[in-house]
Amino acid sequence: MNPPTPASLKSLDLRTLSANDGEIPVVRVAPGETLVAFAVPELEKPVSCCFELAEGAKLFLRSLVRPGTSAEVAVFLLGDRSEADVRAVAVSEAGKPSAYSSRTVSTASNTRASSDVAAFSMSGGDLSVTTVAEIGEGVFGAYAEAVQSSVLFGNSGKVRGIPELRIGSDDVKARHSCSVERFSDEKLFYLRSRGLSESDAVASLVAAKTSSAFSGLPENFVSLSENLCQSAISIIVSAESNNPSQG
């Protein structure tokens, strides 16, 4: 994405939105406007939001789903040359199931939609992830991707869901990928035997994935990116310390 001008750059904390009569809030991004939005849902306060992007509009959306919380976002690229960069970190631990859902729908041509989630489940954790990228009929020159990277700690963490593509046109490009990696207790023990504390060992394992999830924001929001990354690492370290498999 090209750097936005200050006048066209806005930000939004999705926790400030309120639903009317149970309806999901809709955020409309005007032509040529760039919106940086972020979501950090709280316990018993799930985040749900729908975005509509006009011609040339750009959206950067970052979510941090903590254990026991949920977030659901949908992005509709309605105008030509609109772009959406949607990324998230989701974490679950024993007794605190979490859920994250993202959906991008491109109905205009020459659009670009990217949805990427890094999912972390501790032993006993249960994390539901839905990542869908759609391109409608009659669209050309569009690109869409849905990527999911899952990390399991211990022996009983679960991440449910795989990325999905729904493509209705031929003259477009799309991709999806899914990876699963397990960080065993033995791997953590090895790092600790090399002199790292338990928290530093966990942080070293997850730092690259959390950093990637929150990078890519306009330079005005570098501090936001860093804060979200550090918060994600702290949450994962705390969740692992509560791991019932730990002695």
Q: Is residue 80 part of a domain?
A: yes
Number of domain units in the chain: 1
Calculate the CA dihedral of residues 18, 21, 25, 31 and round it to 10 degrees. Answer: -120
Reported as a pLDDT band with limits 50, 70 and 90, residue 198 is confident
Q: Which residues, 6+ apart, have CB-to-CB distance to 225 below 8 Å?
A: 62, 214, 215, 216, 217
At 1, which helix (H) or strand (E)? none
Q: Is residue 153 part of a domain?
A: yes
Q: Is residue 22 classed exposed, middle or buried when 0-12, 13-18 and 19+ CB atoms within 10 A define those classes?
A: exposed
Q: Is residue 172 part of a domain?
A: yes
What's the chain's Rg over C-alpha atoms?
18
Reported as a pLDDT band with limits 50, 70 and 90, residue 4 is low
**CA nearest 246: which of 155, 128, 163?**
155
Range of the domain at 84: 6-183
List pLDDT tens digits, range 140-177.
Answer: 999 999 999 999 987 788 999 889 999 999 999 999 99
Phi-psi region of 246 (alpha: psi -120 to 50; beta: other; left: phi over 0): beta
The C-alpha atoms of residue 25 and residue 165 are separated, in whole angstroms, by 25
- Do 13 and 36 form a contact (C-beta atoms < 8 A)? no
What's the chain's average pLDDT?
A: 89
Q: Is residue 76 part of a domain?
A: yes
pLDDT confidence of residue 44: 80
pLDDT at 247 over 50: no
| pTM confidence score | 0.90
List pLDDT tens digits, range 71-98.
Answer: 999 999 999 999 999 999 999 999 999 9
Q: Is residue 210 part of a domain?
A: no
Amino acid at 37: A
Q: Is residue 1 part of a domain?
A: no
Q: Is residue 54 part of a domain?
A: yes
